[in-house]
Amino acid sequence: MPYSFEPAALMPLALMLALSPVIEEVVFRSGLQDSLSRRGVPALWAVVITAMAFAAMHLARHPPAWALATVLPAFVIGLVHVRTGRLWPCIGLHALFNLIWLLRPIAS
């Protein structure tokens, strides 16, 4: 299991499930995706560009396969943002995707 229940070990878990989704969705959805849309980029292209930028950002700290694995979830979250126009559903979905990623080693 990648995480134990020691206080110091819970910090990465808290960051991945709470803080990271908020910060990343503010930057990528409210920031980049909305900015592209305001500049006339069609919604689908704004979602694609944002998902690719999201994956590229993950290359800075993760292996290429991990970064590539973020493209589809980022695309789905981008579509949710287009559909709802709200950030909170995106943050919740992002946290859910992170939780699934964390539980993946437990399930295998």
For position 45, what pLDDT does the model report?
98
Beta strands in 29-86 (DSSP E): none
17/13 Cα distance (integer angstroms): 6
Whole-prediction pTM: 0.84
For position 14, what pLDDT does the model report?
77
For position 73, what pLDDT does the model report?
96
Q: CB–CB of 9/3 below 8 Å?
A: yes
Q: CB–CB of 3/102 below 8 Å?
A: yes
Check pLDDT > 80 for residue 13: no
Q: CB–CB of 81/33 below 8 Å?
A: yes
For position 33, what pLDDT does the model report?
98
